[in-house]
Structure 1
Amino acid sequence: MGYRYSGKSSSGNIILNREEFDLKRTDQCVKRQREVADRHITVIEAPGWWIDVPVDQSSELLKKEILLSVSLCPVLRHVVLLVIRADIRFKEDKRNVFQGYVDLLSERVWSHTIVLFTHGDFLGDTSIEQHIESEGEDLQWLVEKCGNRYHVLNNKNRSDVTQIIDLLEKIEETVMKNNCCHFELLQQVKEKRRAEEEKAESQMSECETPKLSELRIVLMGYKGAGKSSSGNIILNREEFDLKRTDQCVKRQREVADRHITVIEAPGWWIDEPVDQSSELLKQEILLSVSLCPPGPHVVLLVIRADIIFKEDERKAFQGYVDLLGERVWSHTIVLFTHGDFLGDTSIEQHIESEGEDLQWLVEKCGIRYHVLNNKNRSDDTQIKDLLEKIKETVMKNSGFHFEMDGNILQMMEEKKQAEEERAKGRMKRMSERREKNRSQMSDSHHLSELRIVLMGCRRAGKSSVGNIILNREAFDLKRTDQCVKRQREVADRHITVIEAPGWWWKPVEQISEILQQEILLSVTLCPPGPHVVLLVICVEHRFTVNDREAFQAYVDLLGERVWSHTIVLFTHGDFLGDTSIEQHIESEGEDLQWLVEKCGNRYHVLNYKNRSDDTQIKDLLEKIEETVTQNNGCHFEIDRKILQELEESTAEGQRAKERRKKMHKSRSQISE
């Protein structure tokens, strides 16, 4: 049991020592069996929940399958493994979520549970006990609720059979503690599908419609929903690049004697309300319906069938669609992707089981919906059926396409022009500052040595940045909770790069002491100190007040003086398309603008997918040298008082040792 992406399928494969579980997600239980080490082992993988979605907000279908999981091995149910990634922060919201799902099986199940940590390679030299201590009281509560039973798997070292032997021993010890009894669910689980089937009625009416020689389609939805894949299926060719972009993409093709135009609007983050999104995104969504004049016949709202759809998602969809005006709803169809996830569940059953929010959206679209199985693209009937539904939608609108109000388009143009003017001003200020710095540097050679520290949240791209700077795969892209140091000669310079471990988007006071210590340690690993600290930010990620507060808090750990040595480094520059980085900064709003200005208006953007362009690194190194010049040729050096506090912070390690002793003592008593 566990949340999605926790590593349940991989753990099952490691336990059975064979690729028995498909790594794709499903909303149904999967059962696999095999003889391993003279044991007949049965493993049931229950479908996962979204990491922060509580049980009362999950679908009835999911809850039913979790209850069903313990009845699929009717002879013996020895243990429930609660699967948790060691590289993901575990706080109160996740603890409450775990408790809710486990409690579905009744209170007695806790005596049969073991916490199974996956991605153990992330820990590096940190013991699992230290990790548990550093995460705080919420993870400690879960481990203690499970009788202090836990195990860690290194998914990348599957040849190490001792980790599975040790796990099986812990399972046997758990059975011994329960007097050799297995867990049995007293509550009878009755299938709800039959009731859902009765509730879900056939909602598509058959009607004769004339053939349209041309179809104009706009795809809208959140990031990762499958808009690009849907466009490729509709056009029956790889027309859309699957990489994300913040600009509209238009593709056309003759398909089945029709001229089809498909516009993909850029997506929003799944639960991000429209009032928190960038002006750039809103402008592009408005632009999408004007790129296929005189207007689209239909707007397809793309939703993944394997993702829970609740109030936040509903409000986000409503907000973004309403940008186009109320009339657009009569031209919309809900398009579900990842239909393979449903298995034997019909799309009507899925809509019913998800609850009132998804039902509201489907009804707002006039009960028009369709489902695509992206993994069965050879089935052309699914597209033929979709095109028929589009034709029916056009007929319901008396043969008319959707046309947006001219006043809305005019307001969009005025906003866009204002942002472009501000972006030009920012670019001009940066150019003037760089010219001034270059004039001061004109009589000096470039630095023969550069020391760089990379800081930022997880998944921002710090490791990739280090590899691009050093022009070699020096950093492993896997995450770690410890600093990593790499060096190399590049362009006649000796370059040292320190990657500090990243943080999740949480306030600094909620983060472990180990992480704070590692961030402090990062600036001491390149003595006498770094020339620059690069604050790494992914341009795809919406930068909000929470991000601003997190960056400020983590950088302030190093002292106020560090800000004069910092540069904001944007990654995933390919996402911007034709948008300049200055336009992006302006469109994101005051929080990102504050950070850039706090760093003295020093910023740079990297395009990972164009690593052959060495000018982007050359330009970055020049900006670093200009920063050093602005600091009178001095590097950054951390205050000695801060270092002293770092050296004295050892209490956490002692607590971890005590926990390890406690576990060994418990296991010794069982053996006796």
Structure 2
Amino acid sequence: MAACGSSPQFGVQFISEFRIVLLGNKGAGKTSLANMILCRQTTSPRSTAQCMKIRGVAAGRLVTLVDSPGWWKNFLVHETPEFQKQELVLSMAHCQPGPHAVLLVIRVDALYTEKNKQAAQQHLELFGKDIWKHTIVVFTYGDRLQDQTVEQHIESEGETFLQWLVGKCGNRYHIFNIDRYRGTQVKELLEMIEDMVAGNGGSCYEMDKKCLYEVKEMKRVAEEKANKRRMMVQEQRNVHEGHNISLSNIRMVLLGYRRSGKSCIRNNIFGREIIDLKRTSQCVKTQSEIAGKIITVLDTPGWWKTLTARDTAELDKQEILRSICLCPPGPHALLLTLRLDMPFRDEELKSLEEHMGLLGERAWNHTILLFTHGDLLGDMTVEQYIESEGKDLKLLAAKCRNRYHVLNNKNLLDGGQVMELFKKVEEMVAENDGLYYEMHPRTYKEVRRKWRLMTKKSKMRLKVKRRRMISSVKGAGQYLTELSLILLGYGEAGKTSASNTILGTTDFGFKRTSRCVKRMGEVEGRLLTVIDTPGWWKRLPIEEMPQFSKQEILQSVSLAPPGPVSFLLVIRLDSSFQEEERRAVKDHMNLFGDTVWDQTVVLFTCGDWLGDRTIELYIESEGEALKWILEKCGNRYHILSNKNQRSSNQVTDLLKKIEELVAENKACCSMGMWESKEKTGRSLENVQANERGIQQQTEDFDLDDDVFTTDMKYNIF
């Protein structure tokens, strides 16, 4: 490292002009801190999209500050877009020969997890491992500590991230109260920087020149390619300009992965916050007149960003297909949404192609890429983003014939961006000879047939369930003062979250369970023992599972105290359940012996995903693999929404079902095992017989009927 224009004075390093770079996650308060250090009176700080260099005077000293874009707190470095990582690295180039200090800005009132620690470490080490020698942790929003000191906060239980972070920075930290200015805060910070520079031998931090050159070159090449792309797209639009048409009504369907911003787009298009920004679980149709045109927008459920179509629940796939038919005679445009603040890689492309493949290859002729969160681009163009992200995004743009558009979700008043989108839709329709997207007639009939069969079967299953509920009320289970529950299931099924929900605590934490965890608590007057177990791989045969993992799962029984024990088989609702999953569940459950099924309730997590749909519709849509599991458990199942832990009813109802199960098992034991099996299987045989009859009836239906309705808030199309 090079000496940086400073000279020793009275044992410290006197700096004539400070050079400081601010780093941190989004929302940490970097821009507010920069304004406070330089006493700048500005409007509410916006998200920093690109490096911003500011010069001024602080505590009587010249200061150059470089504010940099923040990363998402929960995102590792590979989850940050390439252009943002380049901007981070280039922040060093804005204060040559290098910064005296890097201020890592941390909100004092935020919670931090192990993943947040990894994210901070990975983003800082983009600059090299020596960066820590020149870094000071700056805590913002110090007033939120109230009577607690920052030292007490760092050492407090559960704040291991802060202890690690401060240790990495040589125990250098400072606290700022952003809401109230105090001049001593800035003066003390500058003195701390001088001490640090002195401790580093009078040197500032210099980025590796080769690395800096490579990043600059990558950005230069991306800008050149972006200019060529912009000219190519404009020429492409000019070719069709004389053939454009004006549509009196425009029908559009929004498609994309979860949290891509689809629901926000509806607010943008209609110019007001009319949409509840909850996850879209079913198709939502919005229609209004804009600039003399009737605009119809269909929002659809999203899929997981990197998972294949086979991992997506059948109900979600059916909703995507159904959306096309809810805006007859067909949509003019399919708007495929992507976030600009996330990278786009090979796994995202494969997932997206598979889900678009549900609509057929012709769908690409009617698709426009719609980038959301456009405010995060700053002065960059969308073409620069496309070129910096690499081949996968460029391939996707090519599949859409280089039709793309950017929306700033935070600027609902900018009608120009929406009118430009309408213009691009009309250009695409003209390019398609005035045609909208139509589903193939064969696919149309198959979707209708499948939907009818599912709804018929789900209604029958619901009737059987209601009959069982009536009979269970007549012979309700005995109230149990003590109860032991063992949660089983594949990894990421939601066992740990469900355990927390049942006990109404966070005692199980939120990390992946690698060993059995036992917790006790009082729930509804009962002494409840809940045991969380390690999950197995969802589709991995039991033969490939390590022996110690199987032993750990079996160990759960020895942790349960003497008395009634029930097993909760946890399955998440928002993903598919197929034959491989069934085999894995069967083999792992059979570790406990054949009678384990008689003591098991299927616990469906992610209950909020269902929306207004019934659990019976989900069961019928998933098919035979899931129904086999339920039949083995005597069709005992319960839904839990881990996002709604305050709802005590869902836990109360679960405990009642378990008490009924315990009572049923006691009765069965007294009658003999063969009689027990006969009794529990009787209702299932009735269901199966009814299903066979429904199948035959459905096949006899005229599939050309225009309308088919059910009593579950569903029209077929």
TM-score, structure 1 normalization? 0.68
Distance 1:626 1:465, change over 3 A: same
The alignment status of 1:575 with 2:598, answered yes or no, reads no
Distance 1:520 1:182, change over 3 A: farther
Work out the CA distance in 1 between the residues paired with 2:601 and 2:362: 46
The alignment status of 1:321 with 2:356, answered yes or no, reads yes
Q: 1:346 deviation in Å? A: 1.1
Work out the CA distance in 2 between the residues paired with 1:563 and 1:34: 73
Residues 100, 197 of structure 2: 8 Å contact kept: no
Work out the CA distance in 1 between the residues paired with 2:432 and 2:99: 59
Among residues 480, 484, 492, which one is paired with 1:447 in the alignment?
480
Work out the CA distance in 2 between the residues paired with 1:405 and 1:129: 55
Q: 1:382 deviation in Å? A: 0.9
Work out the CA distance in 2 between the residues paired with 1:29 and 1:551: 51
Match of 1:343 in 2: 378
Distance 1:253 1:495, change over 3 A: farther
Match of 2:674 in 1: none
Among residues 206, 227, 230, which one is paired with 1:198 in the alignment?
227
Once the two structures are superposed, the pairs formed by residues 106-121 of structure 1 within 5 Å of their partners are 106=128, 108-109=130-131
Residues 532, 624 of structure 1: 8 Å contact kept: yes
Q: 1:245 deviation in Å? A: 3.3
Larger RCO: 1 or 2 (CA < 8 Å, sep 6+):
1
Q: How many residues align?
A: 596
Match of 2:99 in 1: 76
- Amino acid in the other structure paired with 2:389: E
What secondary structure is seen at the aligned counterpart in 2 of 1:244? coil
Residues 461, 538 of structure 1: 8 Å contact kept: no
Q: 1:67 deviation in Å? A: 1.5
Overall identity of the aligned pairs, in %: 36
> 1:376-424, CA deviations, whole angstroms, 9 ceiling, x for partnerless residues?
1111111111111111111112222111111112233344445456656
Match of 1:128 in 2: 160
Residues 487, 495 of structure 2: 8 Å contact kept: no
Match of 1:364 in 2: 399
Distance 1:518 1:169, change over 3 A: farther
> 1:473-510, CA deviations, whole angstroms, 9 ceiling, x for partnerless residues?
x646995669775535x4xx446476969989999999
Among residues 499, 516, 539, which one is paired with 2:573 in the alignment?
539
Distance 1:410 1:581, change over 3 A: same
The alignment status of 1:215 with 2:250, answered yes or no, reads yes
354-363 vs 341-350, greater mean Cα deviation:
354-363
Distance 1:14 1:330, change over 3 A: closer
Work out the CA distance in 1 between the residues paired with 2:590 and 2:399: 48
Distance 1:584 1:197, change over 3 A: same
121-130 vs 536-545, greater mean Cα deviation:
121-130
5+ unaligned residues in a row in structure 2: which ranges?
1-22, 141-151, 181-185, 512-516, 669-717
Distance 1:283 1:578, change over 3 A: same
Work out the CA distance in 2 between the residues paired with 1:46 and 1:384: 30
Among residues 203, 207, 210, which one is paired with 1:185 in the alignment?
207
575-584 vs 458-467, greater mean Cα deviation:
458-467
Among residues 663, 671, 681, which one is paired with 1:629 in the alignment?
663
324-333 vs 218-227, greater mean Cα deviation:
324-333
Residues 464, 475 of structure 1: 8 Å contact kept: no
TM-score, structure 2 normalization? 0.64
The alignment status of 1:65 with 2:87, answered yes or no, reads yes
Distance 1:309 1:475, change over 3 A: same
Q: 1:76 deviation in Å? A: 3.2
Distance 1:342 1:502, change over 3 A: farther
The alignment status of 1:259 with 2:294, answered yes or no, reads yes
> 1:255-298, CA deviations, whole angstroms, 9 ceiling, x for partnerless residues?
22222211112111111222332322222211111111111111
Work out the CA distance in 1 between the residues paired with 2:599 and 2:29: 44
Match of 2:341 in 1: 306
The alignment status of 1:294 with 2:329, answered yes or no, reads yes
What secondary structure is seen at the aligned counterpart in 2 of 1:632? helix
What secondary structure is seen at the aligned counterpart in 2 of 1:260? strand
Q: 1:547 deviation in Å? A: 8.6
Once the two structures are superposed, the pairs formed by residues 462-611 of structure 1 within 5 Å of their partners are 475=505, 486-487=521-522, 490=524, 493-494=525-526, 496=528, 532=566, 534=568, 538-540=572-574, 565-588=599-622, 601-606=635-640
Instruction: State the structure with more CA Rg.
Output: 2
- Amino acid in the other structure paired with 1:349: Q
Work out the CA distance in 2 between the residues paired with 1:24 and 1:539: 38
Match of 1:334 in 2: 369
Distance 1:299 1:540, change over 3 A: same
Work out the CA distance in 1 between the residues paired with 2:229 and 2:456: 53
Work out the CA distance in 2 between the residues paired with 1:521 and 1:152: 45
Work out the CA distance in 2 between the residues paired with 1:436 and 1:222: 43
Q: For the aligned residues, what is the CA RMSD?
A: 6.0
Work out the CA distance in 1 between the residues paired with 2:190 and 2:553: 35
Match of 2:447 in 1: 412
Work out the CA distance in 1 between the residues paired with 2:484 and 2:174: 35
Match of 1:233 in 2: 268
